[in-house]
Every structure is written in C-alpha cells, then in structure tokens.
Amino acid sequence: MNATQPRDNDSIVSNGRRPMRDWVPGRMPMRDAWIPIGHSIHITDQITWRPLHSLRYFLWREQGVLKAAEFHPSELAQKSAQVSAFTKNGFYPIIERYGMIWVWYGNPANARESLLPNLPHMPLDGNLPGYMRGQTRLHSCAELAMENLMDLTHSDFLHADLLGDSISDEDVVTVDSTSETITMVRTCRNKVAAPIMQKAAGIKAKTQNVRFTIHIYIRSHVAAIYSKFEPGLEVKLLHCSTPETRNSNTVNFIQNTTDARPPYRYIFPLASYKIGPQDDFALRPQGPRYFQEIERRDLHSRFDVASARYRFLVEQILERQSRGDYSYESDEIISGDKSEVLGIGRPV
C-alpha cells in the first residue's frame, strides 16, 4: 500500500503537534453567510419551513417570487414586534441558484449576491433531473460533517464496500486555503478501481488515475466536489450541510451525472443513501463527545492536515466574529469562478 505524502511546508500540524486552540465544533454559529436550506424544486406556493441554527425559516413562492420569513405568514403581522435582527421586517434575504434555495444567516444589511459560493460544476439555473438530487441527515453539527468530507482515511473503514481501499502506486495530497475556503486535492496514480466504478459505471480497467478535489466554503458549510477518473468519467457533487442544531445537519446533495452513461447516471446518486448512514455511524456518537470538556486535545496524524487546517480556519472566523467583525477578508472572492480550483476539464 502506498501512503499519502506529507507536505513538508505545512505549518498547521504535523505528527504529534496540535492545532492552536481546542476544537469545539459548533460552539458558535458562523454568521453572515448564504446557507443552502433546501432544493429549489421543493419550494412551491405551499408554505413550508426548515430549521437553521435553531431559527425557523418559512419558505414559499408568492406569484413566483421566493419568500423566506421568520414566522408563518399568517402570524407575521401579529408578531411584527418579535422579529429578530436577522430579518428585515420579518423576512430573510433569499436567492435561488444551482438548484438550491440559499438564505442569509446574519445581518440582512450585509447580504450581497457576491458572497454566494461559486459552483462551476453545477448548472446555474439548477436545471437537473430529480433523480440527481437527494437528502440525508447526519446527527452531528455541520462542522464535524465537513471535517468528515475531507477525511482521507476513514473510507477504508466505513465505505470499503462502495469505494474500495486506497491502494495505488502514488498518492499525493495537497491542501490550500484562504480565510473562507479550503481546498484539498488528492491525486492517485493506478488506484484500484472502486467497486461502484466497476459495477455501475462499466469500468473494465483494474486501475484508474484519479484526481479528487474538494473545495469547501467554510461559512456556508458547502462542499463542491469534483473527481476525474481516467479511464472513466467526471463525478460532480454538491454537498450542502444545513446546520440545524449542534446535534444535526441535513445534507442536501446534487450528483450531477449528466455526462455519464446509464445505468451509472441513475445509480451513482443513490450511493449517498448508503454513504450517509455509514458516516452517521461515526458522527452520531462522535458529536456529543465534543460537548464534553476533556483535558486532552485530539491527536492528529499527518493524514489529518486538511482537517487540522479546517479547524484552524473555523476558529479564525469565529475569533473575528466574536470581536464583531463579520466581514470577508480580501484574500477570497467567494463568487469568483472556481473552475480552475476544481480542475474542471484538466486531465489527471
């Protein structure tokens, strides 16, 4: 087995070193961000609602115009004195993009379209068939779910039946970040083809070259995932963890399999219904243990570079926000084109 290569210049963590602060995931919501709260197709002229950081977001369309309110519309007038500062007259800022409904969590005066994550692997109008969309639930805070997404070594234990193990001739991982995003790229040469590739995508080759890129918008709990398999196909995944409470996040996902042949096109989106519960097997008992004060901090191996960097960046955002600074720093243009970052169209 070939192991993931360490980066010599990574200063966040190395064997035995600890992140700079104790990690208490979900200790404070990160605010002033667009959060995808549900699939567009599910918001109609019927009033529905979703939880977000323990607030209620009532959602509906009024003559085609999207609305998001803190109270049921029948109560809005009566409760106008009780509306929170996260609304303008009881209404939250709302946008529809990439097939998702995005609501603003934070001061509505700061809501700007330029702070909406860019997802170049998804159609802007979200026009994809229903079978590519889905929803699962994870019983942990959204931060642990995002950390799990970047976790390189758990697949061999939790998802071996679908994804196989990580045997390859070469396996290189790089991690880059800005103050608001983290990008992990894993490139494998001659990786043993995953069972799902062989069974559902008709890949005859025993091995593939693979580049797996995950780009996370930290405040939004959104992961753009783009994988290129050679021989094979591109896998385009959008993972949106809606932070409902410290114990739960709902994952709305889109598997854009437009370019794939049947049956892979139909089967691969279903894999999330297997992977989600497998992850929940670890996340559900893991979550409460981060509420407990224990004297020892988590230990890390060099495979946890992305995870440690993510923890560090979340803490940096929270530290700024606890000082009342909710702005975005200039090193990141959230809505800038990320095609290059995801490596779309680039060979492995």
Partner 1 sequence: MSIQSSQWWAVALAAEVTAAKPKGVSVDNEPIVLFRDQSGAIRALEDRCPHRRMPLSLGRVREDGLLQCGYHGWSFDGVTGQCKAIPNLLVGEKVPSTYGVFPYRAIEQNDFIYVAAGTALQALPPNLYASPKKIFSGRHTVGLAHAEFIAALMDGPQLLLDCAGIRISDTLIADPHLEDGWLVMERAAFWLGQTQFDGFVREYKLIFRLAINPETAESWLSFTHPDSSVVAVAHLAITPSTRGTTAILWRSFASTAAGVRSTLLRSAAALGRAPITVRAHIDMGAVARLLVGPSEHWQRDNREPGLYGTILTKERARL
Using CB under 8 A, list all residues that contact partner 1. 1, 3-4, 15-16, 151, 153-154, 156-158, 166, 281-282, 285-286, 289-290, 294, 296, 298-301, 303
CB of 262 to partner 1, least distance (A): 35
Which residue lies nearer to partner 1 by CB, 10 or 96?
10
CB of 190 to partner 1, least distance (A): 16
Give kind and range of the element (H or E) at residue 177. strand 170-177
Residue 266 neighbours by CB under 8 Å, 6+ apart: 131, 257
Which residue lies nearer to partner 1 by CB, 55 or 162?
162
Which residue lies nearer to partner 1 by CB, 4 or 257?
4
CB of 186 to partner 1, least distance (A): 12
DSSP state of 25: T
Which residue lies nearer to partner 1 by CB, 3 or 124?
3
Please name the residue ranges forming H helices in 117-172.
Answer: 142-149, 155-158, 160-163
Find the farthest-apart pair of alpha carbons in the chain and give their distance in angstroms, rounded: 66
CB of 325 to partner 1, least distance (A): 30
CB of 4 to partner 1, least distance (A): 6
| Closest to 47 (Cα-Cα) out of 74, 28, 21, 20 | 74
Q: Which amino acid makes up residue 227?
A: S
Residues 107 and 196: their CA atoms lie apart, in Å, by 44
CB of 159 to partner 1, least distance (A): 12
Q: SS3 for 136? A: strand
- Secondary structure E strands in 305-348: none
Residue 108 neighbours by CB under 8 Å, 6+ apart: 86, 87, 88, 92, 93
In order, the DSSP letters of 246-283 are SS-EEEEEEEE-TTSPTTHHHHGGGGHHHHHHHHHHHH
Which residue lies nearer to partner 1 by CB, 21 or 112?
21
Residues 339 and 346: their CA atoms lie apart, in Å, by 10
Which residue lies nearer to partner 1 by CB, 158 or 201?
158
CB of 300 to partner 1, least distance (A): 8
Which residue lies nearer to partner 1 by CB, 111 or 216?
216
